[in-house]
Chain A
Amino acid sequence: MENFFYNDDDRVTGPEVVTGKATFAAEHQVPGVTYGVLVGSNIANGSISALDTKAAERAPGVLAVISHLNAPPVPGYEPPKEPEKLPAGGKGLQVFSGPEIYFNGQPIVLVIADTFERATYAASLVKAQYQTNKPQTDFTEAGKSVEAVPGARYKDNIRGDAAAYKTAPVTLEAEYIVPVEVHNPMELHAIIARWDADDKVTVYDKTQGVKSTQRSIVSAFKLKEENVQVFAPFVGGGFGSALRTWPHEIAALLGAKKIGRPVKLVLTRNQMFLMVGYRPYTLQKIGLGATTDGKLVGISHQADSITSMYEEFTEGSVNVSKIMYACPNVFTRYHIYPFNVSTPTWMRGPGEATGTFALESALDELSYKLNMDPVELRLLNYAETDPETGKPYSSKFLKEAFELGVEAFGWKQRNPVVGSMKEGQLQVGYGMATGVFGAYRGVAKAVARIYADGSLVVQSAVSDSGPGTATAMVQVAASVMNMPKDKISFELGDASMPPGPTQGGSATTSTLGSAVFAVCTSLQEKMAALAVKNAVFYANELDEIKPSDFIFEDGFIVLASDKSKKISYTELLKQNKVNQLEATEESRPDGKMKDYVAYSYSVHFVKVLVNPATGMVTVDKVVIAGDAGKIISPKTAESQMIGGAVGGIGMALMEEGIIDNRYGRWVNNNFADYHVPVHADVPPIQAIFVNKPDPLLNPIGAKGMGEIALIGFAAAVANAVYHATGKRVRDLPITPDKLI
């Protein structure tokens, strides 16, 4: 299949978004809707000893005040099978199921009233008393007074000799800290829940996966799948925070059940820090050993990370050290420690972004010890096959990405001497780092219908939280069907459509694009089957025409051997008196990848300006070169890379969630104190793609992109800051106080 993709790929959601007509979770007009507001606990550890809700119940407009004392049961909340063990990830907090408090801000009461203002006021009247235990939120106690969660998955991983790095001629040992960072999509997490019958519910929800939300509700309330309707036509960002179903969603469902009316529940920005996940604090210890000419002899990478008191959470922070470089000896260890915090969750570039900050900073430190260009050091240790398995890559164009990036950025103008480059009074630094993330393909189903008016509608039950999934899928459909994209629409955000993947892990385009490819191909076969009988293709009756004799060109079925013989899709349907043709296909990974591995790669080049007096860092120039396979939708792909860089600027320079350990309580859970980048922090950003298809992963050649855009970026900034100032900041973020 020769793929072509339109370059004028304006987002298909554009007109709705820019006119304010795009409807996000809290914006669906549901008759009789009421307003729910959650009250959080004031302590981080202990239990509720008394709850005074009288004033709230008496307040004007209040319809219900729900807590563990009166909440309807959630049939799917089962007691833990091994109560002494920390439950596995995915169990979640069982909201309103008991008086126990595990973290500060834990939802303890839901107040429902007829208006938002009345619900908010009534919520302020709820008074709780607690039996309080000392909270443990001091992450530096991990491995000291706080013991690691035991389990087989936390065992050491050793390739070759674990201690080899120590005996190398050139060695480096350093510790790196990535603090708590919070997704903070601009849309507040929100849900409208409505029970249509005792066993039937409709929700409008902020979710990165309409099907996964449906499954969660099915399992929590023991309902039939077809009785749980989930809508999410527009999702205002996620970055991972909307990958799972959280307590507030179950709370809204409980509330709606209790009062028999729809409930709208929107988290406050403060609550966005407390109960919908975050990137966990991680302390990493890196050991590197190399020969004097720069060949890596050994890598040691240990990470200590955090989780909640009620659930495990793990991510692949140390995996990058296993797969990034050709190195015979690699030791990795990953431990998690429970604290009085809510459960973390995957945040853009999960694990790898954390791990890469450490590994790619350490590589940079090593490059100075070796007196070697950081790009050269990476090329010298380039992995031609997967270091972990020895398998070949289905595709790897990282070298090409290096070349493109070095050229576009002007890397060769870098004077390698630290502190040698200046612009006026400002110190100039050039830094770079690499990012890697697995390229995946999952299972997806899609339906396609072509109508007699020539329009094509493709559907799958997925969400789009920003990457532009519908735009990319229209591109795939247009490419396969070889028809103008303005005739095509891709519909999503409705759980009753054929099941699609959850939007995460940079796999949506690969997974869903494969399904769209399959369903469009299948639709073509159906069209071809109709066309073989059509008189237009027959010069005489003896001709024998098979479906494979056709090609599809610009909205026409064309006889390959005689291009003058053709019929438009519209005419074909009309002549056959069919209103529409429909195909449904499920696509799953085939066997082609059995003996291969697949990764996407990025190379980040950053120029910073540092004011030596004030310590303020300006990111002045950014180039990201990516190997993400075939680029399906150039404009949205470029935007996604730019967005990753902006997220990376936040991670590198300003984002840090802070808890006051005396109270176990967040102190900066708002947008004034938790800084994310604003316009003034972001320079023009150039995103470049190698844009070569992966031949094996899927039929469309795309790998993934959302994660690699961010992974490695923070290290590139830290490396540039070192180059400018000689100050190596190993604990993010790099705020002015660390540079003066």
Chain B
Amino acid sequence: MSAVPPDTPLPGLADPVGDSQRIFRHVLDALANPGRIVTLDAPAALPAGPFGRGAIGTALALLDFETSIWLDEAAAAAGPHLRFHCNCPLAPSRDQAAFVLIGDPATLPALDGFSLGSDTYPDRSATLLIEVAALDPAGALSLSGPGIRDQARLGVTGLRAGFWPERATLAPLFPRGLDLILTCGDRLAAIPRTTQVEE
């Protein structure tokens, strides 16, 4: 595999139907149990650009021609790969994207610039897939809310300073809001809009 041009797509899921269903089940498990770190069983989803198997597998399973995506500069390298396999359109601006892929969480733009949905259609909000430097099941963050008995702990390395307070300012807008899927290599953890995060 020498000298492959950067815009050449990589192989997608080996068994598109079976693998997508398996990945979907894992992502569902992560979203239903905020903060739980799930290892994605997707050997066929190859890393692309800054993303590991977790983010690429999730994207290959969830994206299709109806979900527009927005990529930050670091994530742009994965664009041709996802566009080839998912046929997903690139959103003209970041407030119109259904899925946002962030390759460099240190330069994440302001959260209220993404689509938060509307009170009548909160499902039209964006889901952020963020590749972080590390996920730690016993970290500094304390999570509470639906899906969590008492409290859950999670450590996330690589997000820019002030991220969690900024996210907390979106909480009063419920049912509008953003859902986060934090990925690191082949592992991921989800933080839906209903979860309260304290540092």
Query: Is B truly associated with A?
Result: no
B: which residues have CB within 8 A of A?
A: none
